[in-house]
Amino acid sequence: MSRIPFDVVGFDLDGTLLDTSGDLAAAVNYALATIDRPPFAVEAIQPFVGKGAKVMLQRALTSSGGYDDELIATTLPVLLDYYEQNLAIHSVPYPGLIAAMDQLDQAGVKLAICTNKSKRFTIPLMHQIGLSDRFASIVCGDTLHVSKPDPAPILEMVARAGGGRAIFLGDTINDIAGARNAAIPSIAVSFGFLDGPVENLEADAVIHHFDELLPLLESWPSSC
């Protein structure tokens, strides 16, 4: 019998399951080079991630001289096409993820994903990393007509994974607010693409490494 009081453990993707920042930065920098803007360091791109590729590009353009709609219209397809061809060159699971997933499988808990990344990138990326068949459901930024922090995609992820009690892990306010809006508990990961102190996310708990996940879930009060 599992001592974990959850049926579904849901994960954000970028900055939570996988460190995708190397490939995202390469795509942003490729697009910026086509308009003679200088590249960003990988770490500088991280806080731009979390609300989809268009917002990531808008944030990069804002930090390098500004933009108008025409510039977005020409550079976004360049970024998207490059990223689609280069999804998993540098991207890797965070340390301890696979072992934590194995432990959750053994405990009979379903794993699921709710990401603001488009389906066009999410499904091939998870396939190329070799993890796509480990998740009971994968809800992307364009699966519904709304994305996190709206609660609908998180609730859809839980429903598609079979329903029941759920908890959600993420690295940005979109994830933690989305879980709160969906009335499920949340865990913030301190190793993701933070844009400030992890405490500012006001998650119910914080982990610094995936080794902490199983003990945390096993000690989670079953009444809350």
Ligand X SMILES: O=C(O)COP(=O)(O)O
Residue 131, Cβ neighbours under 10 Å: how many? 18
Query: Which of 171, 178, 198, 207 is close enough to bind Mg ion by CB under 5 A?
Result: 171
Task: List the structure tokens of 17.
Answer: 């399951």
Residue 13 interacts with ligand X (CB under 6 A)? yes
- Closest among 186, 185, 175, 120 to 153, alpha carbons compared: 175
Cα separation, 161 vs 35, in Å, equals: 43
Residue 10 interacts with ligand X (CB under 6 A)? no
Binding part of the chain for ligand X, among 34-42, 70-78, 112-120, 131-139 by CB under 6 A, reads: 112-120
Q: Which is nearer to Mg ion, 37 or 137 (CB)?
A: 137
Cα separation, 162 vs 90, in Å, equals: 33
Cα separation, 165 vs 126, in Å, equals: 25
Query: Which of 4, 6, 8, 15 is close enough to bind ligand X by CB under 6 A?
Result: 15
Question: Residues 50-79: x/- map of binding to Mg ion (CB under 5 A)?
Answer: x-----------------------------
Residue 56 interacts with ligand X (CB under 6 A)? yes
Binding part of the chain for ligand X, among 76-84, 109-117, 182-190, 213-221 by CB under 6 A, reads: 109-117
Cα separation, 88 vs 145, in Å, equals: 27
Cα separation, 76 vs 57, in Å, equals: 7
175 is catalytic: no
Q: Which residues pair with 113 in a beta bridge?
A: 11, 138
The minimum distance between CB 186 and ligand X, in angstroms, equals 14
Residue 50 interacts with ligand X (CB under 6 A)? yes
Q: Please say whether the dihedral angle defined by the alpha carbons of residues 95, 14, 132 and 161, taken in this order, is positive or negative.
A: positive
Q: Is 211 annotated as a binding residue?
A: no
56 contacts which partner out of ligand X, Mg ion, none, CB within 5 to 8 A by kind? ligand X
Q: Which residues pair with 207 in a beta bridge?
A: 189
Binding residues for Mg(2+), by number, are 12, 14, 171
| Binding stretches for ligand X (CB under 6 A) | 12-15, 49-53, 56, 115-117
Task: Just list the catalytic residues.
Answer: 12
